Structure 1
Amino acid sequence: MERGNYTLLTEFILTGIPYPLKLRTFLFVFFLLIYILTQLGNLLILLTVWADPQLHARPMYIFLGILSIIDMGISSIIVPRLMMTFTLGIKPIPFGGCVAQLYFYHFLGSTQCFLYTLMAYDRYLAICRPLHYPVLMTTKLSFLLVAGAWVAGSFHGALQAILTFRLPYCGSNQVDYFFCDIPAVLRLACADTTINELVTFVDIGVVVASCFSLILLSYVQIIQAILRIRTADGRRRAFSTCGAHITVVTVYYVPCAFIYLQPETNSPLGGAAALFPTAITPFLNPLIYTLRNQEVKLALKRLVCSSQKSSGTAPSP
């Protein structure tokens, strides 16, 4: 790559999200609480799945534990840097740090996308083919599928990071966003970005569209199977095992489609939408799965009772 007569950037400044200055302290505390609760909530889910023998051998909850790890990772990559934009002074992010942030965000984000698809397939087998489920979805197979999701996500993240940072960056170093993401960083490139924008649109579009189509197909089959259940209690239990997954998939996919699959704009709505997959969804996932999944709630109760017995404290009536 020829450098020409310009100085390549060695750091970037993230401008953050637009906000009234009088809300600086409130927003810092708000996102600090979001971050802490996200880590604690996902850690609680992870420990519950790991500690409960009725959960940690079942593929659906293996997937849920991995989802908690991903949520903790995405939150740690994005939210602390976002909080720094609410403090006084300019705190640049090094060029290498920007590369790492973009890579790990797309690595974990695409892995999450694949994982949601695996969770939908698992629910399809459990509800539509219950007699064959223990044979078709074994613990070994679930770990192999998770490993495949990690590898595919790593490849996707590496592709996006290499394509984005192969370009020269010079002139302004202000990224008009709250983290180093592809559309915002590409605006600073001192070269033609047409190929990058096309590859990004196609690559992310294929991943999102294919995963969403497989999830949709799975749930069409699931809903048809549930409607054939004769008892209302049976239908309710079947829906309860899928309701949490449907909710988190909706919260995840709608903002992602808005951010990456729309024509190039610099609308503040893009930044607001990006808060969902980066900060809000990782915070909401533990709440959704504990409030809407009966088995997780029962496992949490068993975990609390077990800890109370081991500490010699009688459970409250």
Structure 2
Amino acid sequence: MPDAGPIEQVLYEVKKTIVGQDPLLERLVVALLARGHILVEGVPGLAKTLAVKSLAEAIGGAFHRVQFTPDLVPADILGTRVYHQPTGEFQVSLGPVFTNLLLADEINRAPAKVQSALLEVMQERQVTIGRETHRVPNPFLVMATQNPIESEGTYPLPEAQTDRFMMKVLVGYPSVTEEFVIVERALSPAAVIQRIIDPETLVGLQERADRVYVDPSLIEFAVNLAHATREPGRIGLDDLARYVTYGASPRSSISLVLAGRALAFVRGRDYVVPGDLLDLAPDVLRHRLVLSYEALSDDVTADLILQKILANLPVPEPAGRGR
């Protein structure tokens, strides 16, 4: 059985400041272990930024936060070449993207040219400035937040960039009991987050999560799920075809299997079960579907489409290594 003890300690430490939001915290940890980037969407005041910041403090390592604004330029994130007068040469000044954990706060407030500046570093873990290529530290993760209800001064993320996020997590309002605890905690000084692990330990945990067994039938399920979003008629859902302009890319099936493997590790197993993939499927796929205008007019969401596809897609029998 894998030892996910350090991860449980990290979650316990983060919960000193975060009340509820268990699915969000679990998926943040899954993204860390699976080396995937995560996009968190929710209305203001739901502790999205605080959750990411608290997790970064519990993990240690370098952490940078960039507040995305309409006047931001790519050099503000990546860095630029600066003229050094004493030597008469240009020197590279590296930007805040050179860190272990990058918090891109309200990422949809920046124009497309700034958002596109993250494409290379999110996919290839490197930045090209001038003619030089610079590697970012390992581990490297982008955690972005965005507000869904404000349209003024916001820019929708390009499809090429949203596809590079392993998951998109939707954060909802707390329950009455949770909100009571939140207000109660606000009346006293904020808890101090202790560093539980360091980046080297996190890399070791990532390598152990890589050894979690994935049955070929589960890989086939992930591939069939991605194909069903492109051709719903293959599983008898011809009525959904008019709602989907573009289905999920091959990155979705890769991300689903990698995230499922990490989730199995967090849950203390050395093998993936179908429930791991089913739990993560909406988060991995919802932002990769490009819906038609007809879907918008009929109030059909990506989550509703995925719900129907998952209900009609055969699920393999749960099986572990040698089980």
TM bin (shorter chain) = under 0.3
The structure showing larger relative contact order (alpha-carbon pairs under 8 Å, at least 6 residues apart) is 1
Bigger radius of gyration, 1 or 2? 1
- The structure in which a higher percent of residues are helix is 1
Q: Quick check: which one's strand share is greater?
A: 2
TM-score w.r.t. the length of structure 2 is: 0.25
